[in-house]
Chain A
Amino acid sequence: MAINPYETPRERMRTRLERTRRQFLFLMGGLAATGSLVLGGFKLLGFMFPAATNDAPLKFKTNTTTPPVTFDDLTGGVSNGKAVNGAAVRSITADRVTIVLDEAGIYAVYLICTHLGCTPNYTTTVTAGSGVSDSVAAKRGVRSASEQKPDGWACPCHGSRYFIDSTNFYGPAPRPMDWVDVQVSPDGYFVVDRGSIVAYRQPGDQTPPQWRLLVDTRKDNGKTLGV
């Protein structure tokens, strides 16, 4: 700023104050503008996070699935409080659920690979090439000797394998797949609620979940695990 030789010290002080006042107003204005942009921008980001989505509902009934699955179809009917079929499996791959029947009852596995989220496929040769013997896989689940087979799920993306109780034993999957709630509707179909996890196991947890939909009462036993 050029020096004005006619300016008195008092005037010079006033000029300087004037300048700092202007700087102060610029600072405040700048802060207000920046602050409103940052805060407004942050809230605007909410636009990209829809409060509701058009995803398929997590709860579904097995009458419209491919294939449709009924209680009688899976169990083969009930006599003396036991399922006629000793063990059975129905995979509803499009909805990412397999419904499993064993001696203890019925459970549903949510087929989301715990590695990176692909859909593992049900297979009766789950141990092939894994170095795990067939008998180890066959003994999983609550099954009589005649019903035991080395079955489970294999993920097509990176080769993770799971026993029939959804415990991981091979490949990059860090932990078992989750079990979800399954009930029987009055008309004999299943109602699977993928939003309600009944068995959640941490990495390394080999515990077979005890949760079952009981065949005789058609009610679940409430023995959830890790939820």
Chain B
Amino acid sequence: MTEHLGDYATEMSATPGEVNPVRAFVAQLWGSIFRHGLPTTDKVAARTALTNFFLHIHPVRVKRSAIRVSYTLCLGGLSFFLFILLTITGLFLMFYYIPSVDQAYQNVKDLEFVATFGLVIRNMHRWAAHGMVITVWLHMARVFYQGAYKPPREFNWAIGTLLLLTTLLLSFSGYLLPWDQLAVWAITVGTNMAKYAPIAGPYTRYLLLGGRGVAQGALIRFYVLHVIALPLIGFLLMVVHFWRVRKDGFTGGL
């Protein structure tokens, strides 16, 4: 595995032919992480992609037509990028935000006016959230209009619809967290819409709010959904989604 580094351990030794133990250690360490040298040939490039966790998401070989940007418009990739961005900025926001009706609004104001770069990070989170809803919708439209939901990709289409639902629920649950007038009444309206559903409606509303109205019980529930449950569900669905994208192959061009 470390053949390409074989020389490295010996060539700089004081005595030719003698192994420098430090260099041998470094070579072993390096070789244990990076199994291949620079992908200068097709063979090494293929092996690199196969053995590296971060690269294995890409297929080793694709048709040139399949990677044309104008074919997919990279909408799924953009959605994933925004998801990563939301995870990171969301993590930052969690250092200041306390899901309490007495403190939440003030925490958001602190983020905007007290925390260094807080305003930027909050706005990144907000705009990335809007953007992700847009890119996920467009991604679905792209897949639909190209007929990319057809066999063998039906299952991945189904996973995709669940991911769309997860995205919308993330957007909805995050809406309540600033605890301003817009948030409270939007969730009042939204959960009352859920109440109109037959039989399950009132239970759904009570389940979401943990009480009769939008109060502390609702805030902590939406917070837990927003920062733990839904991102985790989304992540697991994405893992399956990407795996299936790879396994179902790329057609490229109609």
Contacts and interface: CB of A to CB of B under 8 A. Distances in A.
Asked if A and B bind, the verdict is yes
Interface of A: 48-50, 53-56, 116-118, 156-157
A157 B212 CA distance: 19
B228 to A, nearest CB: 14
Interface of B: 185, 188-189, 191-193, 203, 206-207, 210-213, 215-217
Nearest to B208: A48
A117 B211 contact: no
Contact of B193 (A53, A116, A118, A156): A116
A136 to B, nearest CB: 28
Given A116-B192, A117-B192, A54 B185 contact: no
Contacts of B189: 116-118, 157
Contact of B188 (A48, A50, A55, A118): A118
B188 A117 contact: yes
6 A-B pairs with least C-beta separation: A53-B211, A117-B192, A116-B192, A116-B189, A55-B211, A55-B212
B206 A49 contact: yes
Contacts of A53: 210-212, 217
B17 to A, nearest CB: 60
B211 A50 contact: yes
Contacts of B215: 54-56
A117 B187 CA distance: 10
A224 B206 CA distance: 28
Nearest to A115: B192
Contact of B217 (A54, A116, A117): A54
* Interface SS majority for chain A: loop
Contacts, number: 36
27 contacts: A48-B210, A49-B203, A49-B206, A49-B207, A50-B210, A50-B211, A50-B217, A53-B210, A53-B211, A53-B212, A54-B211, A54-B215, A54-B216, A54-B217, A55-B211, A55-B212, A55-B215, A55-B217, A56-B215, A116-B188, A116-B192, A116-B193, A117-B192, A118-B189, A156-B185, A157-B185, A157-B189
A54 B216 CA distance: 8
Contacts of B203: 49
Given A116-B188, A117-B192, A55 B207 contact: no
Nearest to A58: B212
A49 B207 CA distance: 6
Nearest to A194: B212
B217 to A, nearest CB: 6
Contact of B185 (A49, A55, A56, A118): A118
B173 to A, nearest CB: 15
Contacts of B211: 50, 53-55
Given A117-B192, A156-B185, 14 more contacts: A48-B207, A49-B207, A50-B217, A53-B217, A54-B211, A54-B215, A54-B217, A55-B211, A116-B193, A117-B188, A117-B189, A118-B188, A118-B189, A157-B189
Contacts of A50: 210-211, 217
B103 to A, nearest CB: 16
Nearest to B181: A156
A117 B186 CA distance: 10
Contacts of B192: 116-117
B243 to A, nearest CB: 26
Contacts of B191: 117
